[in-house]
């Protein structure tokens, strides 16, 4: 990192329908640095990045890039100037190959006599993959490869475009620990070549590991910039939420009762094998392990999404044969899936419709099947209050809410089914630290009322902070179980990694 300023944002404001999303904010990024941008959902981070990238036009203020004041009218202008942006959801053409995606819009580099030289293009792709030590086939069709590989292709596309500044928005939200290490290695290689990176993340530990400096935003205002090495986690949290969080994991002692769920020798061919564990009333059972260890697959089998091939599931001592999510709900199980956008919310529907979806029959007339709207609205209003969703109206579309509020709506949906057992698969992935704390508080309140929770999380501090017992999974098997008191990051890490 040098002291040369590559990007300067001064006094930038942006309003939507009279609401100020940005209020005279500031940002300074230096050549060759990784600059963290952090704040709760609704803090203005995305608005600021879209203003820099030309997707939005600022109302006031100045933006200087490479020493010159700029006013990009669209992203194409920003790209041409040397600014690239990698969004949380990959923006690749699914039917194209890796090579075709990387050079999309840059094909003129390989045109000879008016004909595209595909061989030269593919050779350039292979050279880039080799340079950054990536084992991705140049001719792999994007729709057939992993999310992690897609993220790497997005990064290499910015390299191909000779970007001088790369904006990364939650780039690790769908990556495993090993894949995050690969991304960080690429980022460090880029910055060693003078490229600047703006790194947006809710994961404070990532900000501390990869970023040289960080800037914090709250409610559309600029809070401050710090050298990452000079602030600790608690100071960052305090800047982000505007208050001290006494505990990110507000776990309360709860009376643990009898066994409510027993999983015996559960097997789904090719996914997991001979998995056994129990869950007791009022207990939070953590399932720890790397991505692909089989945790989510076990949960999907319990919930009837992908029924197991062998083994038994007992609820309250009675064997159940759950073949669908509807049967799981009837058996007293609810599940918040790990992929909120594709498997959780129905984006076009309202908060109300998303909440009552799993038990709409509860509000229907038994004879005519007509929805009793008054009863439905009262139930939704009560649940919005219970899970503390920040929403202007129950008819507001769910996709207009922040990630944390969307997640609370989905949690509310399953609480409205009055489950005995609630499965939470990555419940705080991709949401801000304040919303994380609120969801952890909800978990504690649910188990105090006698519910039982299975918590699946890739964040070890979350499992250690919230679980009463922990089952570690590795390569499709349950390899270790321990109580909260004996658990530690070192102990679990030993079994997670084998």
Per-residue pLDDT tens for 114-136?
Answer: 899 999 999 999 999 998 888 89
When pLDDT is averaged across residues 287-294 and rounded to a whole number, the result is: 84
Q: What rounded mean pLDDT belongs to the chain?
A: 88
Average confidence (pLDDT) over 226-244: 84
The tokens of 186 are what? 């690429």
pLDDT on residue 498: 65
Up-side HSE of residue 324: CA atoms within 13 Å toward CB? 4
Judge whether 189 and 220 are in contact, CB under 8 Å: no
Q: How confident is the model at residue 345 (pLDDT cuts 50, 70, 90)?
A: confident
Most confident of 235-244, 286-295, 354-363: 286-295
* Cα of 104 vs its chain's centroid, Å: 27
Give the torsion sign (CA, 67, 73, 77, 83). Answer: positive
- Asked if pLDDT for residue 227 goes beyond 90, the answer is yes
Which of the two residues, 363 and 277, has the higher pLDDT score?
277
310 forms beta bridges with 267
Asked if the model's pLDDT at residue 235 lies above 90, the reply is no
CA angle 263, 289, 431 (to 5 degrees): 105
Average pLDDT over residues 181-205: 90
Residue 87: how many other CB atoms lie within 10 Å? 16
Cα-based angle 49, 51, 55 (whole degrees, multiple of 5)? 100
Per-residue confidence (pLDDT) for residue 228, from 0 to 100: 96
How far apart CA 277 and CA 271 sit, in angstroms, is 17
How many CA within 13 A on the CB side of residue 88?
16
pTM here is 0.64
pLDDT for the residue 275: 95
Confidence at 236, pLDDT banded by 50, 70, 90: confident
pLDDT in the model for residue 246:
56
- How would you classify the pairing of strands 83-86 and 19-30? unpaired
Q: Which residues of 46-59 are buried (b: 16+ CB within 10 A; e: fewer)?
A: bbbbbbbbbebebe
Residue 35 or 487, more confident? 35
Provide, rounded to the nearest whole percent, the portion of the chain with pLDDT above 70: 96
Q: What is the DSSP letter of 139?
A: T
What's the pLDDT at 244?
57
Is the model more confident about 371 or about 51? Answer: 51
- 26-35, 99-108, 384-393 — most confident range: 26-35
Give the contacts of 232 (CB within 8 A, at least 6 positions apart).
none
pLDDT value for 287: 93
∠ CA(227), CA(24), CA(32), 5° rounding?
35
Q: In the predicted model, is pLDDT for residue 323 greater than 70?
A: yes
Q: Is the pLDDT of residue 245 over 60?
A: no
The pLDDT score that the predictor gives to residue 248 is 67
Q: How confident is the model at residue 455 (pLDDT cuts 50, 70, 90)?
A: very high
How large is the C-alpha radius of gyration of the chain? 24
**Is the model's pLDDT at 361 over the cut of 60?**
yes
pLDDT of the residue at 195: 94
Name the DSSP letter for residue 339: -
Which of 191, 198, 211, 206 minimizes the C-alpha distance to 167? 198
């Amino acid at each position: 990192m040098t002291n040369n300023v590559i990007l300067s944002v001064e006094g930038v404001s942006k309003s939507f329908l009279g609401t100020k999303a940005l209020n005279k904010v500031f940002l300074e990024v230096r050549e060759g640095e990784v600059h963290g941008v952090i704040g709760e959902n609704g803090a203005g981070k995305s608005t600021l990045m879209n203003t820099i990238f030309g997707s939005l036009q600022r109302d006031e203020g100045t933006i200087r890039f490479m020493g010159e004041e700029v006013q990009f009218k669209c992203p194409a202008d920003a790209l041409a100037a040397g600014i690239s942006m990698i969004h949380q959801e990959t923006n690749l053409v699914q039917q194209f190959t890796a090579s075709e995606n990387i050079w999309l819009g840059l094909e003129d580099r390989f045109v000879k006599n008016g004909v595209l030289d595909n061989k030269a293009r593919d050779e350039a792709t292979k050279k880039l993959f080799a340079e950054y030590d990536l084992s991705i086939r140049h001719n792999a069709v994007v729709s057939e490869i992993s999310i992690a590989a897609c993220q790497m292709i997005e990064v290499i596309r910015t390299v191909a475009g000779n970007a001088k500044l790369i904006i990364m928005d939650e780039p690790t939200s769908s990556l495993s620990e090993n894949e995050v290490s690969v991304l960080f290695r690429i980022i460090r290689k880029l910055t060693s070549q003078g490229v600047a990176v703006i790194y947006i993340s809710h994961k404070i530990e990532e900000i501390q590991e990869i970023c040289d400096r960080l800037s914090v935003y709250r409610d559309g205002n600029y809070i401050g910039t710090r050298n990452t090495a000079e602030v600790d986690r608690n100071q960052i949290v305090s800047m982000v939420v505007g208050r001290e969080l006494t505990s990110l994991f507000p776990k309360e002692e709860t009376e643990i009762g009898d066994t409510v769920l027993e999983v015996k020798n559960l097997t789904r061919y090719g996914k997991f094998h001979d998995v056994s564990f129990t869950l007791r009333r009022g207990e939070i059972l953590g399932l720890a392990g790397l991505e692909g260890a089989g945790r989510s697959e076990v949960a999907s089998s319990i919930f009837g999404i992908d029924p197991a091939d062998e083994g038994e599931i007992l609820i309250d001592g009675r064997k159940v044969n759950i073949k669908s999510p509807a049967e799981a709900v009837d058996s007293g199980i609810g599940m918040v899936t790990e992929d909120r956008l594709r498997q959780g919310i129905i984006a076009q529907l309202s908060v109300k419709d998303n909440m009552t979806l799993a038990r709409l029959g509860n509000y229907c007339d038994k004879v005519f099947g007509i929805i009793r709207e008054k009863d439905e609205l009262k139930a939704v209003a009560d649940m919005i209050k219970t899970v503390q969703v920040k929403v202007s109206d129950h008819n507001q579309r769910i996709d207009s809410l922040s990630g944390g509020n969307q997640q609370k709506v989905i949690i509310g949906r399953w609480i409205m089914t009055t489950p005995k057992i609630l499965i939470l698969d990555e419940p705080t992935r991709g949401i801000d630290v304040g919303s994380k704390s609120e969801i952890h508080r909800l978990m504690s309140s649910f188990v105090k009322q006698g519910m039982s929770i299975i918590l699946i999380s890739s964040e070890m501090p979350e499992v250690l902070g919230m679980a009463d017992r922990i089952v570690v999974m590795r390569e499709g098997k349950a390899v270790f179980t321990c109580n909260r008191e004996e658990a530690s990051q070192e102990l679990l890490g030993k079994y997670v990694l084998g």
